[in-house]
């Protein structure tokens, strides 16, 4: 008779933000999904960022168990968010496999026109609100403007993707009732501030993600990231929070279900 060792296989995890729709992963989806399942990453959101990315996200969600789609325009792609693109997005969010709008937000690291970014972000805020869907937020070096736009719109359901700010900012998001999602950034040696930030977020507002193919966690930093490596984000975050890793994994799955799938 086989003896069951509870720690042999990690508890299932939900990758709240991954880009299997990115060229780096898209042409090998079955392999990446197989590996994700080996790591017990059984559910994930494939997140769009432009028209092609959004179409692929929906196609992957329609054809694979455990995948949900998020559709939107990331700041860098907002110059392409014309009237046609807007119309297509408005149709896509009606699809039942779509669980959120995004990723959307502001990025002041690159030099995409800020007025263009803001107009596209506002349109997506309005769409999320109209559809009563959560919005997945991309914020880079733009906290004040992102915070003001979300708060002014009265947005109540939002996910701060790949959080990389200060503990004060994490608390500000959490106080609005938003989910704060931690990626491989939280595993980087120099990211002490991000780990401190994780400690101020209530446990039922924490999510984990890879943002694959980007931001591979330690010990794979610099490599092509993949959804299965959510496991390493959970391991690291559990250590930061002094929690049992399987307990944290289960909690983040429950949070993701509540955030995206309307499970209580």
- If one asks whether residue 107 binds Zn ion (CB under 5 A), the answer comes out as no
Q: How far is the CB of 17 from Zn ion (least distance, A)?
A: 6
Q: How far is the CB of 150 from Zn ion (least distance, A)?
A: 18
Give the start-end residues of each E strand in 83-161: 98-107, 135-140, 158-160
Q: Of the candidates 145, 143, 144, 177, which has an alpha carbon nearest to the alpha carbon of residue 163?
A: 143
What spatial distance separates the first Cα and last Cα of the chain, rounded to whole Å?
A: 38
Q: How far is the CB of 246 from Zn ion (least distance, A)?
A: 26
11 vs 104, which CB is nearer to Zn ion?
A: 104
43 vs 211, which CB is nearer to Zn ion?
A: 211
211 vs 246, which CB is nearer to Zn ion?
A: 211
Q: How far is the CB of 214 from Zn ion (least distance, A)?
A: 7
Q: How far is the CB of 111 from Zn ion (least distance, A)?
A: 19
105 vs 246, which CB is nearer to Zn ion?
A: 105
d(CA 107, CA 195): 22
224 vs 250, which CB is nearer to Zn ion?
A: 224
Q: How far is the CB of 178 from Zn ion (least distance, A)?
A: 17
**C-alpha dihedral sign at 87, 128, 130, 153:** negative
Q: What is the DSSP secondary-structure string of 198-248?
A: HHHS-GGGEEE---TTSSPPTTSTTSPP-GGGHHHHHHHHHHHHT--HHHH
Bridge partners of residue 208, in order along the sequence: 182
Query: What number of chain residues touch Zn ion (CB under 5 A)?
Result: 1
Q: How far is the CB of 16 from Zn ion (least distance, A)?
A: 10
Residue 174: CB atoms within 10 Å: 18
184 vs 245, which CB is nearer to Zn ion?
A: 184
**C-alpha dihedral sign at 217, 186, 58, 204:** positive
Give CA separation, 224 vs 20, 22, 61, 146, 213, in Å: 12, 11, 22, 29, 5
State which of positions 169-228 bind Zn ion (CB under 5 A). 211
Q: How far is CA 253 from the centre of its chain?
A: 13
State which of positions 76-95 bind Zn ion (CB under 5 A). none
124 vs 246, which CB is nearer to Zn ion?
A: 124
d(CA 3, CA 172): 47
Residues at the contact surface with Zn ion, assessed by CB under 5 A: 211
């Amino acid at each position: 008779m086989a003896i069951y060792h509870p720690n042999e296989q990690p508890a299932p995890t939900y990758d709240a933000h991954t880009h299997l729709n990115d060229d780096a992963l898209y042409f090998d989806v079955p392999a990446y999904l197989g590996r994700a399942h080996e790591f017990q990453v059984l559910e994930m959101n494939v997140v769009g960022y432009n028209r092609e990315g959004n179409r692929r996200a929906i196609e992957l969600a329609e054809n694979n168990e455990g995948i949900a789609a998020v559709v939107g325009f990331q700041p860098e792609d907002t110059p392409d968010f014309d009237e046609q693109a807007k119309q297509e997005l408005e149709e896509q969010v009606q699809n039942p496999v779509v669980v959120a709008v995004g990723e959307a937000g502001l990025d002041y690291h690159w030099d995409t026109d800020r007025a263009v970014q803001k107009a596209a972000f506002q349109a997506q805020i309005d769409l999320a609100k109209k559809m009563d869907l959560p919005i997945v937020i991309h914020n880079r070096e733009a906290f004040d403007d992102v915070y003001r736009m979300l708060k002014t719109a009265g947005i109540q359901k939002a996910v701060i993707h790949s959080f990389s700010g200060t503990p004060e900012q994490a608390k500000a998001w959490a106080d609005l009732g938003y989910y704060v999602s931690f990626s491989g950034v939280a595993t980087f040696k120099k990211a002490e501030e991000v780990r401190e930030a994780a400690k101020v977020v209530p446990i039922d507002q924490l999510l984990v993600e890879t943002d694959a193919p980007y931001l591979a966690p330690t010990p794979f930093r610099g490599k092509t990231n993949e959804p299965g490596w959510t496991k390493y984000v959970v391991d690291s975050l559990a250590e930061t929070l002094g929690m049992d890793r399987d307990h944290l994994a289960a909690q983040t799955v429950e949070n993701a279900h509540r955030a995206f799938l309307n499970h209580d």
